[in-house]
Structure 1
Amino acid sequence: MSSLFTGDFSIPKLALLVILLSISYHVSISVYNLLFHPLASYPGPILHRISILPRTAYLLRGELPFHVTNLHAKYGPVVRIAPDELAFCDPQAWKDIYGHKPQGQDEFPKDNKFYRPIKSTPANIFSSSRNDHALLRRQLAHGFSDRSMREQEHIIGAYVDLLVKRLQEHSKGGTKALNMREWLNWTTFDIIGDLGLGSSFECLEKAEYNPWVRVITKAIKSSSYMQAITAVGGTRLVTWVAQSGLWKSRQTHRQLVREKVMQRMELGAERPDLIEGLLKKQKEWQMSLRQISINASRLIVAGSETTATLLSGTVFFLTTHEDKLAKLAHEVRSSFKSDEEITLSSVGDLTYMLACLDECLRMYPPVAVGFPRVTPKGGGTIAGHFIPAGYTVSVWQWAINHDPRFWTDPYEFKPERFLGDPRYKNDRFDAMQPFSVGPRNCIGKNLAYAEMRLILAKIIYNFDMRLDDGALNWLASQKNYVLWDKPVLGVYITPVTQ
């Protein structure tokens, strides 16, 4: 190598020097990550331990949750899936990472590489600091309270009734397979549009996607790509793309949310929706229109796509398990004498339906990845392992929900496990936390359950369902980009004569 520094220092020699220095740098980093890094003692594939690239590749391929599950099966309950990241598969980890902390002890902050890859984005209910989150949550809680849900019932019920009407019109007496993925998406987006922004997307009214809804779904998938770029050190590139206008789906979505929020604010009168609490505090907190809009945007996506996903999964599992579907149909149809009796309140008595929804949440969690947190100053102990400060940690939902250490028949749809069946007495129900735990658990959990029960009950009461043969591999063929990329879910539905 000394010859590089003798004689004329030509361009080829300079290029060779740069290449050799680059190789030396990356070899040094790899050796450090493998042997001397603070997380070096934790198991995992060598390539994952020395570089972020394998993790990023699986994310971009839509296979990361399944890959992490395989890694847990091979390496155990704690796996190093990237140089600075550990995945945990232990019920205790839910409490240690996400749970409430004693007075004076720091919580594990959210990992901004996941929740806020673009630093210029205003903090919101999902990415704000501990203190700001508490204030935001307190105000938003009004829209998710039991009182608000009772006041929202006529809004939600009207859209569910419209769904039933449209299914009756389009099913052609059970001779045409309907794409239930679309119909359930349209329903949940219409509901959340009204509850969050004061007006519907009119998907059910027109029996088609609102262009905005298509923009939202595109933006969700694009976000995974941006997270991948951020993970490999491309934060500035992601910020530039966002600010340059090249990320058109994001830009369009933001503008449409802004316009909708302005329309909602112009209504003036109070209404039992999800952002009323923020609007009341707008002047006191000096919240900008942009800050209110970003929170409304997060509520719309979280309150629509995840609910529709879970309902789609439930329809798939029920139609592939005819005995479960028959049992649920008996429960629903024997519990009500008329369609009008099915309300947000009355569906709460359907115990087998709740078991079906819970089992689907286990088998097909709408968010299959981990909710990444960062170990706080001074580090933290997770499931008996002390982790130094500054490293990403999480529990991966797909992995822990299918771990045979915690579940009997983990890959089989068995609602009976949630009804005290002795065959499943050893199941660890605390391993499943689809809404997370602690101070940042899902604020919309009760609304989601009530909405899903009402929609499913109305469908089961009014229709018989049969899965189209082309959808038998519906779940097996799916990719996951944080959220699921769901294919067509063809179902024949036949109106029931009550």
Structure 2
Amino acid sequence: MAPLGHESSLNLVFIGCALVIAGVVGNLFYNVFLHPLRSFPGPFLWKLTPLFKYLRLYRGDLPKYMKELHAKYGPIVRVSPYELAFSDPQAWKDIYGHRHNGAPELPKYDGFYRAVDNIPRGIINAFRDEHGFLRRQMSHGFSERSMQLQEPIIGSYVDLLIHRLQEQCGDGSTSLNMREWLNWTTFDVIGDLGFGSSFGCLDKSDYHPWVKLVANSVMQAAFMSALSDMGFKPAVRMLLRLKKLAITDNQALVRAKLRQRIESGVERPDFIEGLIKQKDEGKLEFMQIATNATTLIIAGSETTATLLSGAVYLLTTNPDKLERLTQEVRSSFNNDDEITLTSVGKLSYMLACLNESLRRYPPVPTGMPRQSPKGGATIMGKHVPEGTVVAVWQYAVNHDPNHWTDPYTFAPERFMGDPKYKDDKLDAMQPFSVGPRNCIGRNLAYAEMRLILARIIYNFDMTIADDSRNWINQRVYTLWDKPALNIHLKPVSK
């Protein structure tokens, strides 16, 4: 009987394997031919499984490849069995905008924003009511009054930046890595405004360990979201238990810094004062505040430094635009003291340069996915079935020739009414998103970027080093993986 039993076991294994294969094949057949999204165009293999999209993520070119997909398939592309990508100004309003006539909001897609379930929700991924509560508590730190109170704090770090650059640049023959200097500045600013003390980057002219952790943790979070989205949440939970992981190290540093801020007992016009008050009243727990503080660090430092780096690169590789901006800045002020968060608001060409930098080099070039609610949603006049993941991919829409004249040309004039660009659809670019969940720090970000760039241009002539002329050709993992940006700075004689 032994041989017969062995044969039966083999038969069971064979049957089991056959059933698994049949299930996989059946699922693939359903995704292509029977799925509610079957009528939407897209690459064949991407309709089968999300694996091919995430292979592009691993390669670091997913946002740029998304632009190629839109060029081939049109403004709506099916980029996974359950996901649609959009490239049209109307999609911003339909996906992210305010809802009317009682239509439900498209919730944020947890597969992207929340790789595991045991992490507290913050302002980025909170449900609608909780988001409104958190936003109200944090809005005071971003108000016009708070900006006025914060100006001496921000200004002191910009002063220190200029002083350090003057020490380091010499006669301009040696280049400086402006990616580092801009990162150090924005990180010191957010440390003070978010936690009550600087990270000392500019003081030491060196990275605080936390700065590198932020960039690495964003990259790790992107891959963990991909694993979670493909059904490997247990593996993500296991990874998060590792002690030598940038994400966990970053969270530990946030908690330590936050405890120092809370224990100081000082009331100040910073970004988390409102959240701390809610903790004192028993309405928020420490870990909820820590989650929001992590968001503030990344959104308030890394993205601002990224945009400024992009602006410096685009200006130095377009000397005619830099010359015009230099003329505007130096003719508008008599000395450094006149350049403030408020006074930079009159620099119209500066604003156009920053907007064009946001278009060409968006700090978050990916899509910020939402999910179609119960009953589905109408996006760009098309019915999108319930549960579908939807997003506008910023790099793709910002370079879509259907919306922009000469999309790869750096032309600030397109934001100043130049007739050459009269057909440009300026509302196709939404770097701070739209609707009730748009970026709470938009006004401060613009003011801070204008102040830093104006002070640099007022004090230095800039030329790009030869080894950084292809700097913009980078990989991206949610945020850009930025190499050194080497710039020659020559002090201006006054």
Kept in 1, the 8 Å contact 2:111–2:229? The answer is: yes
Q: Tell me how far 1:19 sits from its aligned partner.
A: 3.4
User: Which residue does 2:476 correspond to in 1?
Assistant: 480
For 1:480, the aligned partner's letter is V
User: Which residue does 1:213 correspond to in 2?
Assistant: 211
For 1:329, the aligned partner's letter is T
Give the distance between the partners of 1:16 and 1:58, measured in 2 at CA.
35
User: Which residue does 1:240 correspond to in 2?
Assistant: 238
Question: Which of residues 419, 430, 434 in structure 2 aligns to 1:433?
Answer: 430
Change (3 A) 1:26 1:316: same
Give the distance between the partners of 2:62 and 2:17, measured in 1 at CA.
32
Q: Does structure 1 residue 165 correspond to structure 2 residue 163?
A: yes
Q: Could you list the per-position Cα deviations for residues 204-234 of structure 1 after superposition, in whole angstroms to 9, with x for gaps in the alignment?
A: 1100100121222211111111112112211
Give the distance between the partners of 2:207 and 2:215, measured in 1 at CA.
11
User: Which residue does 2:54 correspond to in 1?
Assistant: 56
Question: Which of residues 336, 339, 344 in structure 1 aligns to 2:341?
Answer: 344
For 2:300, the aligned partner's letter is G
Q: Tell me how far 1:245 sits from its aligned partner.
A: 2.7
Q: SS at the partner of 2:378?
A: strand
TM-score computed with the length of structure 2 as normaliser: 0.97
Q: SS at the partner of 2:171?
A: helix
Q: SS at the partner of 2:462?
A: strand
Give the distance between the partners of 1:122 and 1:430, measured in 2 at CA.
34
Kept in 1, the 8 Å contact 2:112–2:226? The answer is: no
Kept in 2, the 8 Å contact 1:319–1:465? The answer is: yes
Give the distance between the partners of 1:88 and 1:54, measured in 2 at CA.
18
Please show how residues 386-401 of structure 1 align to structure 2 within 5 Å: 386-401=383-398
User: Which residue does 1:231 correspond to in 2?
Assistant: 229
Q: Could you list the per-position Cα deviations for residues 374-428 of structure 1 after superposition, in whole angstroms to 9, with x for gaps in the alignment?
A: 0011110001011111110011101111011110011100000001100011100
Q: Tell me how far 1:11 sits from its aligned partner.
A: 5.7
Q: SS at the partner of 2:186?
A: helix
Kept in 2, the 8 Å contact 1:86–1:392? The answer is: yes
TM-score computed with the length of structure 1 as normaliser: 0.97
User: Which residue does 2:485 correspond to in 1?
Assistant: 489
Q: Could you list the structure 1 runs, at least 4 aligned residues long, displaced by more than 6 angstroms after superposition.
A: none
Q: Tell me how far 1:248 sits from its aligned partner.
A: 2.3
User: Which residue does 2:296 correspond to in 1?
Assistant: 299
Q: Could you list the per-position Cα deviations for residues 284-332 of structure 1 after superposition, in whole angstroms to 9, with x for gaps in the alignment?
A: 3431111111111111111111000000000000000000011110100
Q: Tell me how far 1:259 sits from its aligned partner.
A: 1.2
Give the distance between the partners of 1:54 and 1:282, measured in 2 at CA.
44
Kept in 1, the 8 Å contact 2:243–2:249? The answer is: no
* % identity of equivalent residues: 55
Q: Tell me how far 1:240 sits from its aligned partner.
A: 2.4
Q: Does structure 1 residue 74 correspond to structure 2 residue 72?
A: yes
Give the distance between the partners of 2:278 and 2:290, measured in 1 at CA.
14
Higher mean alpha-carbon deviation, 17-26 vs 425-434, is at 17-26
Kept in 1, the 8 Å contact 2:370–2:389? The answer is: yes
Kept in 2, the 8 Å contact 1:108–1:373? The answer is: yes
User: Which residue does 1:409 correspond to in 2?
Assistant: 406
Question: Which of residues 284, 288, 295 in structure 2 aligns to 1:287?
Answer: 284
User: Which residue does 2:178 correspond to in 1?
Assistant: 180
Q: Does structure 1 residue 189 correspond to structure 2 residue 187?
A: yes
Q: Tell me how far 1:77 sits from its aligned partner.
A: 0.6
Question: Which of residues 110, 127, 130 in structure 2 aligns to 1:129?
Answer: 127
Question: Which of residues 318, 326, 342 in structure 1 aligns to 2:315?
Answer: 318
Give the distance between the partners of 2:472 and 2:9, measured in 1 at CA.
55
Q: SS at the partner of 1:41?
A: coil
Give the root-mean-square deviation of aligned CA atoms. 1.4
For 1:85, the aligned partner's letter is E
Give the distance between the partners of 1:489 and 1:283, measured in 2 at CA.
44
Q: Tell me how far 1:241 sits from its aligned partner.
A: 1.8
Give the distance between the partners of 2:239 and 2:193, measured in 1 at CA.
32
Give the distance between the partners of 1:403 and 1:380, measured in 2 at CA.
24
Give the distance between the partners of 1:330 and 1:285, measured in 2 at CA.
54
User: Which residue does 2:41 correspond to in 1?
Assistant: 43
Q: Tell me how far 1:260 sits from its aligned partner.
A: 0.9
Q: SS at the partner of 1:464?
A: strand
Q: Tell me how far 1:246 sits from its aligned partner.
A: 4.4
Q: Could you list the per-position Cα deviations for residues 17-57 of structure 1 after superposition, in whole angstroms to 9, with x for gaps in the alignment?
A: 44333322211111100000000000001100111110110
User: Which residue does 1:275 correspond to in 2?
Assistant: 272
For 1:196, the aligned partner's letter is G
Kept in 2, the 8 Å contact 1:362–1:432? The answer is: yes
User: Which residue does 2:136 correspond to in 1?
Assistant: 138
User: Which residue does 1:454 correspond to in 2?
Assistant: 451
Q: Does structure 1 residue 150 correspond to structure 2 residue 139?
A: no
User: Which residue does 2:115 correspond to in 1?
Assistant: 117
Give the aligned length.
492
User: Which residue does 1:465 correspond to in 2?
Assistant: 462
Q: SS at the partner of 2:470?
A: coil
User: Which residue does 1:27 correspond to in 2?
Assistant: 25
Give the distance between the partners of 2:248 and 2:431, measured in 1 at CA.
30
Q: Tell me how far 1:7 sits from its aligned partner.
A: 7.3
Question: Which of residues 327, 331, 335 in structure 2 aligns to 1:334?
Answer: 331
